[in-house]
Structure 1
Amino acid sequence: MGPNPLLPAGYDIVWSVVSFAILALVVVALVSISRSAKLLTSTQALTWTLVAIFVPMLGPIAWLAIGRRAARLSSSPVAASDASD
């Protein structure tokens, strides 16, 4: 008797988990971008949103690793006073 056709193969399970993880990462990045929208210009927010959507793995990771930190630093009072000098 061969493998049961009703049970998914191992690669199907792995592919499903990876796909779900990527989708969850994109959703988390988009929520984070929308919460940080006040700290970003409209061009920056649009660019990060498009990068997060169209570069599925690297876009959200780049936002979570670099973009949030840069947005916070650019809006801090210390950064604003340094920029005005």
Structure 2
Amino acid sequence: MSDEHSPLIPASYDIVWSIVTVLIIALTIVALVTLARSARRLTATQALIWTVVVLFIPFLGPAAWLTIGRGGVPVERT
């Protein structure tokens, strides 16, 4: 069998998209962890909506939670 190299799509393209994919997955995980930690301060509806946004809008959902959503949640002082 021949080498499965495509002259139209360079190997660097695959590498870049793999890195972007890993970064988006990491951003989503970080957003879900911070959302879970903030869930006590959110209503059930707010937590559900933010979870759906984070999961179903790949880059913008987690970025929105980390910038807008988390900032709107009052911080508990201990």
Q: In which range does the TM-score fall when normalised by the shorter chain?
A: 0.7 to 0.9
Percent sequence identity over matched residues?
55
Greater share of helix:
1
Residues 54 and 4 from structure 1, CA distance in 2 versus in 1: closer, same or farther, beyond 3 angstroms? Answer: closer
Q: Which structure has the larger Rg over C-alpha atoms?
A: 1
Note the aligned Cα RMSD (angstroms). 2.1
TM-score by length of 2: 0.82
User: Residue 71 of structure 1: CA displacement?
Assistant: 1.0
Gaps of 5+ in 2: none
State how many pairs are aligned.
71
- How many Å separate the matches in 2 of 1:71 and 1:41? 11
Q: Which moved more, 1:30-39 or 1:8-17?
A: 8-17
**Which ranges of structure 1 fall in alignment gaps of 5 or more residues?**
77-85
Using structure 1 for the length normalisation, give the TM-score: 0.75
In structure 1, C-alpha distance between the alignment counterparts of 2:72 and 2:39, rounded to whole Å: 12
